[in-house]
Structure 1
């Protein structure tokens, strides 16, 4: 039984050939697998109609995919009358992907199966993100320890998907903000260390794709995704495709220079949205207010250095006046930035994700109020706003799907 890894190897081998029956068959099988990925439960007749290939030929190809473990027979529909066709679907155990999500203060790792389901996850592994060789080695050791505890999946592990904050070019495999001290691209270094294909992507774009493929998106194709965490990022989806820009740097929403201040951003510029509206800025504002005598429930359980965005959001949800005010002020400024994006892109949907999305209307209402002030009325009334459905799992799912599409050459 080939499984997913064997199928990927065959695809790569046959890609070197551009003609012949064998090449055409494997390309047809790839097309069939892609159709299953996008549609779930499928019949032979549907596949025949989609591929414009005869039913007997499709039946043979599906049987081969069943034999090799990529598909499973889901049986017939129970309801209705008349002859019932057989339905087929992806075999979740055909293969697995390892997703690694690096945050500034922790790491999340998950195993995702071929049917896009998380089968195991370990979250909040302590880790301080720094651009040093020692931290890179620590990341690898954490990954090795996780794999050691999940040996049963190793034989079917098809690859590693890593998502990290900062500037990432997924086409070249380079991370320019962190772990950029190797001569080779980061993806190649990881591939050599773990003896597996590796795909890297910016955290916000991975979250965007996860939400688009498995989250709150229905039929929308033009989407902006806001990642409101310690920093502020934006994922852009145009006509159903994740937009990365020429070098993979698209979506630096937090570095829109729209504020009139002299605060130096970590990017080295002044006036960036992140200087006053990011999670890091919110924490700084809360700490300053406490030091100036403002009362808050945060001081009952946390020292100044222990205050996090998560705790600020929790306090706001408990009606803490200081935290509500700080989040609301940040929301107004974020809304001004979104207004610019609405005027530029005229998207169907804006998704609010990240830690600040947990604050619900406390975040959204000031954003919408600010958008009404700063965007064209015809544009902002044409756009729907939703909160992320996948929440903190969006990045883990998203990078595994991007890895899968990369390995199967799905666009």
Structure 2
């Protein structure tokens, strides 16, 4: 744990990372220190080249306050976004800009015994090639699918670490503090801090990918449930289709609505003579979903029908949660968000059909502006959420 003065300087940097520009009084309120003490710490940070004066806030009738921002290249974070098939790694600055290319590599988690070895190797290679010293890297944030226990640093769905936590395993190999979380929780964190859920108190963030993940924002914070596993949206049992889900149960939302299922249905339809601009569906799920979404965006009727069916089923599941949680907004994020407004009509139709109108009338459906980068941004935000603890 850092000393008291360092702790509060890190609190200031953390606040500036998340809010971009703040006045001294804003910072003072957020870190619970007096204005004279905050002014002194800001002066020290400016002298160290960590904080910049950015001018004056708009006038509210009195003296215009000086505003401050974090210098973007004073601290870096390594962001890792994993899904069931593909992992991505990048180094980001304090303005969430990529300072390295995003390194993407195939990594099927179900079959990869040495997945963490490969990820740590890729991190070390990227950091080494960047020329950035590890001393200015605040940490590594890793988003991953599965049941992730953030307190113990474990993933109960994937990864064997030989009696070590994932955090201990990774820190021993990269020499930088490591933080892990569920991928959908990090997507929700990105939306809460930088996206469509910013300044929203109650929101549902649906991660449309190979499964259908969910991050819950309640009372302006992430809701994790009793032991951290809240949000298993994919495994709501909605169908009597006899299809076995990846969880081992049957009839889950995932079996009718995920992008993996959309890809499989697309190929089956083409095999049965469906007319489409699609000629064949790539075996690689990432390429398959991109192919279908691109075709739908160009007006291909068959592709639109596939996404509409998936969206309607997502809407059915969302309707159940609206009855329970009454959220202000439903945000569609993650890989599938690139389909944009194609999701909104079928999801809204299902909500109209399955929700009590008074419960749903104030719930809007929005498409994330962060899209497929949301998990990387959330992984970076995870590091900075914990920055004062490093």
TM-score scaled by length of structure 2: 0.91
Corresponding residue number in structure 2 for 1:9 = none
| Conserved? CA contact 2:266–2:281, under 8 Å | no
Taking the aligned partners of 2:284 and 2:142, their CA distance within structure 1 comes to: 29
Taking the aligned partners of 1:123 and 1:381, their CA distance within structure 2 comes to: 42
Q: CA deviation at 1:296?
A: 2.2
* CA spacing shift, 1:316–1:193, aligned 2, 3 Å: same
The SS at the match of 1:296 is coil
Structure showing greater radius of gyration is 1
Taking the aligned partners of 1:50 and 1:201, their CA distance within structure 2 comes to: 25
Taking the aligned partners of 1:401 and 1:82, their CA distance within structure 2 comes to: 34
Corresponding residue number in structure 1 for 2:369 = 389
Corresponding residue number in structure 2 for 1:138 = 118
Q: How many residues align?
A: 389
Taking the aligned partners of 2:343 and 2:170, their CA distance within structure 1 comes to: 38
| Conserved? CA contact 1:237–1:243, under 8 Å | yes
Which of 192, 198, 218 is residue 238 of structure 1 equivalent to? Answer: 218
Q: Map 1:269-288; keep pairs closer than 5 Å.
A: 269-288=249-268
Corresponding residue number in structure 1 for 2:150 = 170
The SS at the match of 2:80 is strand
Which of 379, 383, 386 is residue 406 of structure 1 equivalent to? Answer: 386
The SS at the match of 1:158 is strand
Which of 162, 167, 189 is residue 182 of structure 1 equivalent to? Answer: 162
Moved more, 104-113 or 346-355: 104-113
Q: Map 1:8-407; keep pairs closer than 5 Å.
A: 12-14=1-3, 23=4, 25-26=5-6, 28-47=8-27, 55-76=35-56, 85-299=65-279, 302=281, 308-407=288-387
Q: CA deviation at 1:357?
A: 2.4
Measured against aligned partners, the alpha-carbon deviations of 1:359-402 in whole angstroms (never above 9, x if no partner) come to 23322211110111111111111111110111111111111111
Pick 1 or 2: higher relative contact order, CA cutoff 8 A, min separation 6: 2
The SS at the match of 2:89 is strand
Taking the aligned partners of 2:32 and 2:79, their CA distance within structure 1 comes to: 36
Q: CA deviation at 1:298?
A: 1.8
Indicate the RMSD between aligned Cα atoms, in angstroms: 2.6
The SS at the match of 1:143 is helix
List gaps (5 residues or longer) in structure 1: 1-11, 15-22
Taking the aligned partners of 2:70 and 2:240, their CA distance within structure 1 comes to: 53
The SS at the match of 2:43 is helix
| Conserved? CA contact 2:83–2:145, under 8 Å | yes
Taking the aligned partners of 1:130 and 1:393, their CA distance within structure 2 comes to: 23
Measured against aligned partners, the alpha-carbon deviations of 1:339-369 in whole angstroms (never above 9, x if no partner) come to 0010010011110113332223322211110
